[in-house]
Amino acid sequence: MTDIKKAMLDPTKVFKDPCEVVADLELTRNQKIEILRRWEFDAHGLEVAEEEAGMSLLHPEMFDRIVKALHALGAERDTEHTPPTK
């Protein structure tokens, strides 16, 4: 059983990859989109922190996988609440 509350707070604690969110049969489409948007926000924040610290990006492809998962659900990025990419 999917721990929806945990997934909403930190998707990486419940899912290893964004495609797992899309494939989860227990979640509604809206829940999947909300979880993926949270993951997108978190991934972008981590990317910015790594860049500011002068570190190489640990998972540069994660952001792309999240966006692809959103598109698979027919959703777009939440550009109003997520900082734009470069």
pLDDT tens readout for residues 11-36? 999 999 999 999 999 999 999 999 99
pLDDT exceeding 90 applies to what percent of the chain? 53
Number of compact structural domains in the chain: 1
| pTM summary value | 0.75
User: Where does the pLDDT of residue 4 fall: very low under 50, low under 70, confident under 90, or very high at 90 and above?
Assistant: very high
In a domain, residue 86? The reply is no
User: Where does the pLDDT of residue 85 fall: very low under 50, low under 70, confident under 90, or very high at 90 and above?
Assistant: very low
**What pLDDT was estimated at residue 66?**
92
**What pLDDT was estimated at residue 59?**
59
In a domain, residue 79? The reply is no
Domain of 65, in residue numbers: 4-72
List of long-range contacts for 76-82, beta carbons under 8 Å, 24+ apart: 77/37, 77/40, 78/37, 78/40, 81/37, 81/41, 82/37, 82/40, 82/41, 82/44
Report the pLDDT averaged over residues 43-69.
Answer: 72
Stretch (H or E) spanning 43: helix 29-52
In a domain, residue 77? The reply is no
